[in-house]
Every structure is written in C-alpha cells, then in structure tokens.
Structure 1
Amino acid sequence: MQVRSSEDPGAGTGASGTPVRGRFPAVPSSVRLARVLVREVLERHGVQEDLVPPAELLTSELVTNAVRYGGAGALSVRIAVTASEVTVSVSDASRTRPAVGPPREDGGRGLQIVDTLATAWGSEPAPDGKTVWFQLYRTAG
C-alpha cells in the first residue's frame, strides 16, 4: 500500500487539511486496506464517529467495483475532509461509467447502497479511466 498526502487546489482542501491519497493494486485485499485508510484519515480529522461506518461501507462498495470492473493494474483512493463534508474518490483504469442497476442474485447492490447512503455521488471521466466519488455531510458540533 502506498499512501501519500498531496495538495489539490480547489478540490476538497480546507480547514481540516490536505487530501490524502492511497494507491492500491486492483485485488480484493485492497478493499480492506482502503477501508482502513479512510477510517484513519477520518479519525485523524476528528470526523464524528457516526460518519465513519457509512464512509467505510461506501468506500468498500466503490473499491470493490474498481477491483471487479476497473481493469488490471492499480486503483487510487482520495480522501478529502473539510469542515462541512467528507469526499472519497476512487479512480480506476476503466472508462465505463457506473450506473445503478437492478440487483442480481450474485451482487449488483453496491451503487444502490451508495445512492441511498451518500449525500451526493457521481463519476467523472479521466484521461486514464474514471473516478467515482461520494460525499457525506458533516454535522456541526
């Protein structure tokens, strides 16, 4: 696992610090590693405890999709924490945009979970694939 902090002006930097990025191989064990990274970053930034489990779950869903459908190689996870929100982005090598579909017997519920629990979510094309992201709003406290 490679983790590095990097400045990304205008994209999630703010009162709580700079985004954190992790780069992982596109293999199933990376799902757990990404979840751990998200938990550590949110705890370090003092994000309220009740936001951590949904952030971990949504990260698991996006990383699982990246492993399953994103092609071989690597994927990256970006966590940005501001005073008002948490944004987690997962980038992979596939150019295919995700879509919420009907659940199947063997899966197909990941984006339904993201759509239900996230404050907002979406995807963006990238020169070398795509990025899928979600946001969760922080409560004042």
Structure 2
Amino acid sequence: MTQRSYALIAALMAALSRPAFSAEAQTSSPILQRLDQNKDSAVSRDEILAARAKLFARLDINGDGAIDEDETERLRDTIMDHAMAMQALLGNQMHRLDTSGDGNVSADEFRARTPLFDLADRDGDEKLSDGEFLVIRGILFNH
C-alpha cells in the first residue's frame, strides 16, 4: 500500500468522525461528496457501510480479514511521516515568507507572497480557472 493510500485512509477516517457530519460539512465537503455514491446530496447508511468496507480492505494490508498490530503500526508510521513532511514544508514556507530575516512573518510579508497562486496562474490573468486551481489542489494534497 502506498503512502498516498494511507493519506487517503487518514482523510477518510477524519471525514467519518462526528464533527464531519455537521450541516455545513454535508454541503461543502469533497470527502462527503465522494461518499455520496448515488449523488443524491445525502450520505446513506449503506454508503457509509460501503466506505467502511473499502477502508477496512485498505487497512487489512495482508488480506487476512483482520487489522493486526503490524498493519496499525504501518499506518501510524505513514501518518507520522506525512506529518513530519508537512511540518518541514511549513517551516520552509515560513522562512521564505520572512523576507526581512528577523525570524518573524509580519502581516505585510504574509500578504505579499502568493507562491501557489502565482504558480497556478499559468496565463497570468490574476485569476484561477478550474484547471489552474487543480494545480494548487494537486500540490497540496497529492504529495
């Protein structure tokens, strides 16, 4: 199972947590939209059960019908690796934003930089089309 698969599992687990089922989340969450297999703008018990079955199959790496300690530990390691990578990315981004080099990012420094926007705005029109926005989404969520 790839690190990306583990990241998807972690996202699905978070999506299935109690706070994810607020009225706002049901209308705006891409994860809930993916769970809504029949696209009726609602997530049924059957759709949740189907998602949980897929999740179980992904967690049961060796396919023996049980999630054992080794499989759990592998998932934990993958989540920690991803978290550490994200911490490093955040540190690098904050260092780049600190253009004065004083160890702090001022509001002006923060507002002045839009590196992901600039990268995605391929045609330079200062607007992001659907396709251009997908570039940012890919950078942020498909490591």
**Superposition TM-score tier, normalisation by shorter sequence:** under 0.3
| Greater gyration radius | 2
- TM (normalized to structure 1)? 0.26
Higher helix share: 2
